[in-house]
Amino acid sequence: MLPFYHLVTDNPPTHIRNLYKHKTLTEFKDDLDYLLTHFKPITLKELLEYHQSKKPIPNNSFHLTFDDGLSEFYHIIAPILIEKKIPATIFLNNHFIDNKDLFYRYKASILSDKLYTDTVLGFNFKNKNDIDELAKTFNIGWDDYLAKHQPYLTTEQINELINQGFTIGAHSLNHPLYEELSLDEQIYQTIASIEDIKNRFQLNYAVFSFPFTDFNVGKKFFSSIKNHVDLTFGSAGIKDDEITFNLQRLPMENKVDGAVNIKMAYSYYLLKKLIFKNTIKR
């Protein structure tokens, strides 16, 4: 069981609040209590060892993951996880570490607030420059926003989290939707992201989570990156994958509470398994 989150907060920031539902502190703690009652937390290292030795992972194990490298992980999430002794992995976008740049979807969320329109939320990776043009027209400076709000983890915070036992992975350079990229661009975004994270933080393991989704990412991609990575992670729910080193995770930021979300995903998985349709084919 691989639940995944982005943000836990009681005050969702402008760059996220128009995009997806976040978890409040109470909701998050309730999720963790449910998980701890029914499952046993394992570290990424244990998950990697099980995978490399091809030994079956003990039933009812879970490993928590958090995408996008948000600063709330340092300020809010890490203290809760340390208190409850739950290990976790954080997936980072290289271009955003140290608040050097902002994910184009976050820019859209900020613009939609300032311009009082949801239309900008429809912009995609290919027309992300239009978002910057629009911001310029309305005199909105991303550097000012980044400096004031510090949405992302800094190198110093990441090193501190590593020293506290958290593990980290790559999440692409700047969060494109892979389905919209050419195969070469997909491979470049992945390998460059993984190698940079490994070098910057001197890691002896390499993991990667797909930005948005691995939907429509094909066999050629996986065979091209397999020597650069130990495990990759998708976000299709509780599912098996034809690519044995690509593990699917369960998105937790739904409208239903964590316990119901997990129960629903499990029943769906078991039902699909009965009719042999629970494996993603590439």
Minimum CB–partner distance for residue 103 and Zn ion (Å):
8
Minimum CB–partner distance for residue 209 and Zn ion (Å):
7
End-to-end CA distance of the chain: 22
248: amino acid identity, one letter: Q
Minimum CB–partner distance for residue 151 and Zn ion (Å):
13
The residue of the chain with the least Cβ separation from Zn ion equals 67
Within residues 186-215, the interface with Zn ion by CB under 5 A covers 211
| Count of residues that interact with Zn ion, criterion CB under 5 A | 3
Q: Is the dihedral of CA 187, 192, 193, 194 positive or negative?
A: positive
Stretch that binds Zn ion, among 8-16, 62-70, 141-149, 236-244 (CB under 5 A): 62-70
Closest to Zn ion by CB, 12 or 211: 211
Minimum CB–partner distance for residue 225 and Zn ion (Å):
18
Minimum CB–partner distance for residue 211 and Zn ion (Å):
5
Give the 3-state secondary structure of residue 28: helix
Stretch that binds Zn ion, among 68-76, 82-90, 218-226, 235-243 (CB under 5 A): 68-76
Distance from C-alpha of 265 to C-alpha of 35, rounded to nearest angstrom: 14
- In terms of DSSP H, where are the helices of 150-232? 155-163, 183-200, 219-225
Count how many residues are written for the chain: 282
The 3 state secondary structure assigned to 81-123 is HHHCCCCEEEEECHHHHHHCCCCHHHHHHHHHHHCCCCHHHHC
Closest to Zn ion by CB, 68 or 230: 68
Minimum CB–partner distance for residue 45 and Zn ion (Å):
23
Closest to Zn ion by CB, 67 or 241: 67
Q: Is 72 in the site for Zn ion (CB under 5 A)?
A: no
Closest to Zn ion by CB, 221 or 278: 221
Pick the binder of Zn ion from 1, 9, 68, 102 (CB under 5 A): 68
Pick the binder of Zn ion from 1, 12, 28, 67 (CB under 5 A): 67
Closest to Zn ion by CB, 73 or 278: 73
174: amino acid identity, one letter: N
39: alpha, beta or left? (left if phi > 0; alpha if psi -120 to 50): beta
Closest CA to 91 of 229, 217, 226, 223: 229
Minimum CB–partner distance for residue 175 and Zn ion (Å):
6
Report whether 105 contacts 18 (CB < 8 A). Answer: no
List contacts with Zn ion (CB under 5 A): 67-68, 211
